[in-house]
Structure 1
Amino acid sequence: MYVAVKGGEKAIDNAHAWLAEERRGDPSVAELSVPQIREQLKLSVNRVMAEGSLYDPDLAALAIKQSRGDLIEAVFLIRAYRTTLPRFAASNPVETAKMAVDRRISATFKDLPGGQILGPTFDYTHRLLDFKLMAEGELPTAPTAPASGEAVPHVTGLLAQGGLIQPEPQTDEMPPDLTREPLELPANRALRQQALTRGDEGFVLSLAYSTQRGYGRTHAFVGELRIGRVGVSVNIPELGFAVEIGEIELTECETVNQFTGSKTEPPQFTRGYGLVLGQSERKAISVSLVDRALRWAELGEDFIGAPAQDQEFVLSHCDNVQATGFLEHIKLPHYVDFQAELELIRRLRSEAIAEAAE
């Protein structure tokens, strides 16, 4: 039986009004501003920028406010907005070796060139609620790190000098752009990196954790984790050279993995690589671990059936906007489909009862 259903515009308008009221909360409490979110909820802003594929802290903070703190909804808003933006040019590859680092650590070399910089991190804090944050007080101050204009070389370069780590293949081929072209499988490493970088942090984290528990061929050390700012430049045809147009904050992780060799590769260390917009080291480490797990074919390894090795599984399910849309669509009207299912179940039950009575 088909029943025509008309949308209740008034009900929808009321739902929007109620949402706005819930977003504002208690009017007696000061309203949260976009600059406050940008400056004080920075890690949430960074996640929205990374998974939304748009580097703009103000817009990410606005999306967080509009979504009432639902970060996946905020990512959805940012992605929808970025589709309206014109593209003026393609930037040159950023040089992370020239990064102005705020944090740089290595789990493989204690005394690395350029030194270890702990930076702003929760790693060395006690996981205890700080009730002083509920009271107003003086602004905290941190020591200023000495500025350095020198390049900070990557730790994996030390291994490369001795031929102990697999060299990265160099290519001038323009990588596909996942934000403008649909994902096609099998995907090359550049496309996989894009999908993982803007994939859901929780999903990628779980996959990375699975590789550490044996569901993948990774025994990784953090060769280097760095957070800092890099310049972004574009080539200006009229000038004949590149011009720096600004800088962005990035988190970069290179993992060093055991590799006993294969039919095509000698025994050596191999790399996993993760690069994420903003300060997001958990995500960068996770991406590097999953990146290494997905490289099994090019390294001549056997496929052991681990989820993190299956690129169709990983890349088709890591996108939180796509996953959310598919999951939440089932709450929309499915009256006709359900009526068909209901009639089928009734008929099957009637037939089963009739057979039992014979």
Structure 2
Amino acid sequence: MYVAVKGGEKAIENAHALLAKRGSGQERVTAQQISEQMGVLVSRVMNEGSLYDPELAAKALLQAQGDVLEAITLLRSYRTTLPRFGVTAALDTGALPPERRISATFKDIPGGQQLGATFDYTHRLLAEELHTPEVPAAQGEAAEAMPRVTDLLGRSALVEPDHPQDWADPEPGDLTREPATFPMSRAERLQALARGDEGFLLSLGYSTQRGFGNTHPFAGEVRIGEIEVLFEAPEIGHEVPIGRIEVTECQMVNQFVGSAEKPPQFTRGYGLSFGRAERKAMSMALVDRALRAAEFGERAVSPAQDEEFVISHCDNVQATGFVEHLKLPHYVDFQAELVLLRQLGAEFGQSTDGRASNDPD
């Protein structure tokens, strides 16, 4: 502890008390209200906190008084205390029954376009009073098959396959337990992007569309819905369902001119996120494709194509800690630099005085 900050415990206790008072308010807002009415915000906290639990994410937002990054930090800290029982099976998002499913590449797609709950067609005007309109009941018709748009393109070899024919599904690394090393596999990059800061990824995704990433994207498909999670319990010997989670999936289709080894075809960018998080999934898909430049023999000349730059700076918990630690006492460090600066200033003054005295003019 710095000598200059001894005796500050009482001040810290008072600061905590003042913070709690600022967050008390006239009427207590419950975590359930936040979870039900601010689902998009809760989804962001779950994504970047690396934990799917709407109730805990809402509690973190309540404790953080709406500070999203603080809530994400709280959720990640809690996550580290949880036991690990194993790894779930890969989600079969191809069988995802969507609440919302759109494609910007084809108007008519098998299963049809489903607008679902979206802000896309709303007037951005503040309402005097929020109200809940009646939603028409489902007609009860048999659900039509909804194959992925990229799979339809794949049948005609118009888009790259989702994996090579001789590809063996490797055991993915776990960035929450192992340090990141570069270069990374695509699975590890997607892990990092999935829990990366939405605003940072949005900016990078935007940059790729403005010529800083060499991608020309089309939203092949965006799906939102609940999907079953399967877990293979060793004592049972087969997969068993353990619950359902809401996810957003984005398949981005990008142009590619081909090469001497590969035919001209579209390429893919992929994004998957917890809850309703379209902007995050789309940004993730754009950055994922930009980071695949080496696979297609493209020159990496833009920030979004620099793996080390993107992965090292997209984690908002690490970024928050590194920036906000500047608020903590640095008295000793500053005094050391102050002494050095004064010494250098004195030496500079002496040297200039010497030059002035020897100046013939």
Q: Tell me the TM-score normalized by structure 1.
A: 0.94
Q: Contact 1:264–1:300 (CA<8 Å) still a contact in 2?
A: no
- Aligned equivalents of 1:356 and 1:51: distance in 2? 55
Q: Does 1:324 pair with 2:317? A: no
Match of 1:17, as an amino acid? A
Question: Alignment partner of 2:88: what SS?
Answer: coil
1:160 matched to 2:154: yes
Task: State the 4+ residue runs in structure 1 displaced beyond 4 angstroms.
Answer: 146-151
Rounded to whole Å, the distance in 1 between the matches of 2:186 and 2:266 is 18
Residue 294 (structure 1) aligned to one of 273, 276, 291: 291
DSSP 3-state at the match of 2:175: coil
Q: Secondary structure at the match of 1:158?
A: helix
- Tell me if structure 2 keeps the 8 A contact 1:205–1:283: yes
Alignment deviations for residues 138-195 of structure 1 (CA, whole Å, 9 cap, x no partner): x432123456566521111111000111012243211111122221111110000011
Alignment of 1:242-253 (within 5 A): 242-253=239-250
C-alpha separation in 2, matches of 1:329 and 1:295: 34
Aligned position for 1:20: 20
2:143 equivalent to 1:142: no
Give the residue type in structure 1 aligned to 2:67: D
Given that residues 52 and 79 in structure 1 are in contact (C-alpha distance below 8 angstroms), is that contact kept between their aligned partners in structure 2? yes
Matched, 1:334 2:346: no
C-alpha distance in structure 2 between counterparts of 1:62 and 1:240, whole Å: 36
Shift of 1:276: 0.5
Contact 1:265/1:300 (<8 A) preserved: no
Q: Which residue pairs with 1:196 in the alignment?
A: 193
Question: What SS is found at the alignment partner of 2:85?
Answer: coil
Conserved in 2, the CA contact under 8 Å of 1:45 and 1:61? Answer: yes
After superposing the two structures, state which structure 1 stretch, 170-179 or 247-256, moved more.
170-179
> Which residue identity lines up with residue 314 of structure 2 in the other structure?
C
What CA deviation, in whole Å up to 9, does each residue of 1:262-305 have, x standing for no partner? 243221000000000110000100000000000010122222x1
User: Separation in 1 of the partners of 2:350 and 2:175?
Assistant: 56
Could you say if the C-alpha distance between residues 231 and 7 of structure 1 is closer, same or farther in structure 2, counting changes exceeding 3 Å?
A: farther
Q: Which moved more, 1:228-237 or 1:261-270?
A: 261-270
Distance 1:290-1:355 versus aligned 2 partners, 3 A rule: same
Asked whether the equivalents of residues 110 and 144 of structure 2 are also in contact (C-alpha less than 8 Å), the reply is no
Q: Provide the rounded CA distance (Å) in 2 between the counterparts of 1:89 and 1:232.
A: 13
Q: Percent identity, aligned pairs only?
A: 60
Summarize the Cα distance change of 1:115–1:149 in structure 2 as closer, same or farther, 3 Å threshold.
Answer: closer
Equivalent residues of 1:75, 1:321 under 8 A apart:
yes
The unaligned stretches of length 5 or more in structure 1 are none
1:219 aligns to 2:193 (yes or no): no
Distance 2:322 2:310 in 1: 16
Structure 2 residue 172 is matched with structure 1 residue 179:
no
Q: TM-score, normalised by structure 2?
A: 0.93
Deviations 1:86-105 (A, max 9, x none): 01121000111111211000
| Alpha-carbon contact 1:91-1:233 (below 8 Å) kept | yes
SS at match of 2:81: coil
Give me the CA root mean square deviation: 1.5
Shift of 1:238: 3.1
- Give the letter aligned to residue 322 of structure 2: F
Corresponding letter in the other structure for 2:150: T
Distance 1:59 1:330 in 2: 29
